[in-house]
Amino acid sequence: MAEVFPFKAVVYDKERVPNLSDCMAPPYDVISEVDQQKLYNKSPYNIVRLILGKVFPYDTAKDNRYTRARDFFNRWLDEGILITTKGKNIYACEQRFNVDGRRRSRLGFIALLKLEELSGGGVMPHEKTLEGPKADRLKLMRATGANPCQVFQLYSDPRKTVNNALRNCIVREADLEVSDEDGVWHRVWFVEDHGVIQLIQTAMKNKALFIADGHHRYETALNYKREMRQKYPHFGGEASFNFAPMMFVNMNDEGIVIFPTHRLVKGRMPVLSEILKRCSEFFDYRELPASTEEERKKLLLELNRRGKHSYVLYVGKKAFLLWLRDEKSAEEHGDPTKSRQWRSLDVSVLHTLILDRVLIIRSDDIEKRLEYTRDSSYAFSSVDEGEVSLSFIMNPTDISGVKAIAQKGEVMPSKSTYFYPKLRSGLVLNKHVL
């Protein structure tokens, strides 16, 4: 059961910060060190100082990226850079963007969700989480007592009841509007109409939720809730730490886009002839030219045309299109503890039949040996420049696959999906009140 609620949000004051775009940032987990510095340079009020502050050699237990995030947050509130909305709202959010030359739009809303344990079945993850990022995010929540970003949740509503209600609310000028480095326009409307809010709450009440992005943040919110309940056992179920802000998007929305996440492999590899020999046990393959940008575009089109269970292996400036010879191989040689749907995922086939059996990369070495990118050009160039040994370029995971895995209570390998566009950090913040 999805219990959603309006809330008083913390937002940037447009009068004090005229160029809101300079204060926004991507989610913390896609910000490189170079990106971090660029965001620092954009504005002294950029949200990166909260979500991914710099680390210095002289940091101590009393002065570090988390305590500085707390100080920035409190100072910006005191100075009126950040303000709290007058009423409790739900926040309609539209993102307009281009993909493959087509203009698209994705509509959703931001609201508080009453947190549920993931074992309950109401909120379903689809990706594995790591302890490091969860520990990092928990330190930030302890320091600031706030959620500077939302978890991206999907729900199914073929009739588009919520979408239609939101459409009626966004005919006026947006309350907040920013653009990002990818040319995506993010617009937010404060929805305070009680009738609309009640309609959305009723429509969402029986919905199952699927975490699209923000698995670590959701689990961190749960850990924070547990800590606060121990610290304040006399507080009831309505205490603010029992809730966290989410962006809710209908998976039946035409604006749902998933990009592939390509695998870059580091370390010593078998010689190319041995790799191909081992691959041939399960895959057919052929070499294709990939020296020029035009040839690489044609190669990616061919990969897309081949569809399921096909990959581009790029190694030593040579490209090979691989495709699974017999679909039964995925089921027969996949992880027997997993469902048929899990074993048939492109990313699962790659990990079980190639990374494990061909390259002999042990499961406990995966995180050390792999890098990830959604940029196919980088998947080529990183091999050319000797930064990695080889790369596997993939097709995207279908939304139906994400839903099927989540419904079975399973999780995909890390970095199996890349929902686009990313939510913008800094648009709508939530501050816990004790």
- Summarised one tens digit per residue, pLDDT across range 215-237 is 999 999 999 999 999 999 999 88
* Percent residues over pLDDT 90 in the chain: 76
* 88 vs 340, higher pLDDT: 88
- Summarised one tens digit per residue, pLDDT across range 306-355 is 999 999 999 988 999 999 998 888 778 878 888 888 888 999 999 999 99
Query: What top-level class would CATH report for the domain 261-395?
Result: alpha beta
pLDDT(91) > 80? yes
The phi-psi region of residue 399 (left if phi > 0; otherwise alpha if psi is between -120 and 50; otherwise beta) is alpha
Q: What is the pLDDT of residue 398?
A: 86
Q: Domain ranges for the chain, please list them.
A: 4-257+421-431, 261-395
- Summarised one tens digit per residue, pLDDT across range 137-170 is 999 999 999 999 999 999 999 999 999 999 999 9
> Do 111 and 196 contact (CB within 8 A), yes or no?
no
The token pair that represents 105 in the structure block: 């739009």
* Percent residues over pLDDT 70 in the chain: 100
> Do 241 and 155 contact (CB within 8 A), yes or no?
no
- Summarised one tens digit per residue, pLDDT across range 24-56 is 999 998 898 999 999 999 999 999 999 999 999
